[in-house]
Amino acid sequence: MRQHVNPLSQFFQLPLSLPSKSILFKDPHYPIHLDIGSAKGEFLIELASKYPKWNFLGLEIREPLVISSERKRKRLELKNLKFLYCNVNISLDEWLSDLDHNQLKRVSIQFPDPWFKRKHIKRRVLKKSLLNSIARNMSKDGELFIQSDIYKLIEYMSNVIDESIYFDRKVVMGLKWLKKNPYEVFTDRESFVLRRNFPIYRAMYIRNRTLFIS
């Protein structure tokens, strides 16, 4: 599904106050996995079902997908999962700053909109400011997982993270890209690409012990 919305349009620049974790989750003190660009929500729905002592939050800029994902979540009565509509580059930082110390354990950014044209690269979701916000609030040894079937996009994303002093790339058997999804749970897009036997580029980064410099 590649129904783009322009995150830089005036409409999406309006900040939203996201509900606190105590409102979102039955047990607000469980560790948190944040999925940025949760799309149809299947990835987090399966994880939340498997791991009841984790909380999962999916953020998506396409509101109809959030409504659909929330409908499925409610039908399954998953109290450790929530889907919210927002522009993460505008509204996420304040929410993250209210979390318990070391509560944010995992962040995933999977198959985001590629925005191929050079003039549109600034619309891509992963920016230095967003990465810094994640680094500021993530627990030491926390995981940042990215994947895409578009090489130019994953190269851009990995370059942004590689330039950061707060994350170290996890290398397995000397390979630059991971062969498998470490969570063994697939997004809708990932399943689509796998069925067609197309390549997927994946990388895992670990939050190192460098103190965040504000």
Q: Which residues are catalytic?
A: 113
Helices (runs of H) and strands (runs of E) counted in the chain: 7, 7
Indicate the burial class of 134 (C-beta count within 10 angstroms; 0-12, 13-18, 19 or more).
buried
**Cα 93 from chain centre:** 13
Question: Exposure string (b/e) for 149-167, b if CB count within 10 Å is 16 or more?
Answer: bbeebbebbbebbeebebb
Angle between helices 128-137 and 88-97 (to 10 degrees): 10
Contact 127, 159 (CB under 8 A): no
